[in-house]
């Protein structure tokens, strides 16, 4: 469980520190009620990674804009659920599962802190090579949540059955 707490704390620190830097060094502007970047940001890796500043008052891709109470309720429910799952982390026997749950908590808390402190989530990373889906900006908390989903799925599809089978063999031997 200590490893899980370290993952949560480390991930939260990376997320919040980068958001603070973006918040302090970039200034958003609004045009006709829509947020526009005061300047286009800068390209870290042209065609792959750009940095900018977007104040996201909604959910993914700006959906549910301004639904603060809804986000609060969903966040509390999610954190209770992930907290329960965190009681089952076992880095010795279920590393992928344990990392995924830790990242779920870190990502959820990272964006929740933004909403509670600022009233919006700071998004700043854009990956132009996937603009064919939609141009969107995200942050480290979003990345932690995406990684958590992938890792959780890998664990559920491929690793959980192996653990159960192995545990069954151990139980039969006893």
Q: Structure tokens of 103? A: 């990242």
Residue of 15, 65, 131, 142 marked active site: 142
Q: Is 65 noted as a catalytic residue in this protein? A: no
Q: Catalytic residue at 15?
A: no
13 vs 8: CA distance, rounded Å: 9
The beta-carbon contacts of 69-72 under 8 Å, at least 24 apart in sequence, are 71/115, 72/115
Selecting among 123, 131, 155, 171, the annotated active-site residue is 123
The per-residue b/e assignment along 42-77, b for 16 or more CB within 10 angstroms, e otherwise, is eeeeeeeebbbbbbbbeeeebeeeeeeeebeeebee
Q: How far is Cα 49 from Cα 15, in angstroms, rounded to an integer?
A: 17
Closest CA to 11 of 145, 118, 124, 151: 145
Residues with a known catalytic role: 123, 142
């Amino acid at each position: 469980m200590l490893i899980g707490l370290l993952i949560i704390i480390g991930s939260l620190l990376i997320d919040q520190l980068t958001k603070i830097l973006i918040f302090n060094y970039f200034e958003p502007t609004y045009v006709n009620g829509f947020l526009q970047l005061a300047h286009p940001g800068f390209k870290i890796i042209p065609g792959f990674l750009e940095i900018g500043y977007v104040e996201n008052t909604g959910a993914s891709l700006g959906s549910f804009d301004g639904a603060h109470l809804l986000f609060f309720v969903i966040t509390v429910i999610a954190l209770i659920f992930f907290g329960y799952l965190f009681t089952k982390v076992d880095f010795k026997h279920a590393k992928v599962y344990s990392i995924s749950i830790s990242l779920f908590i870190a990502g959820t808390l990272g964006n929740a802190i933004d909403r509670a402190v600022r009233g919006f989530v700071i998004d700043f990373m854009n990956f132009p090579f996937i603009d064919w889906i939609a141009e969107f900006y995200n942050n480290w908390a979003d990345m932690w949540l995406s990684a958590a989903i992938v890792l959780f799925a890998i664990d559920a599809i491929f690793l959980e059955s192996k653990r159960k089978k192995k545990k069954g063999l151990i139980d039969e031997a006893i």
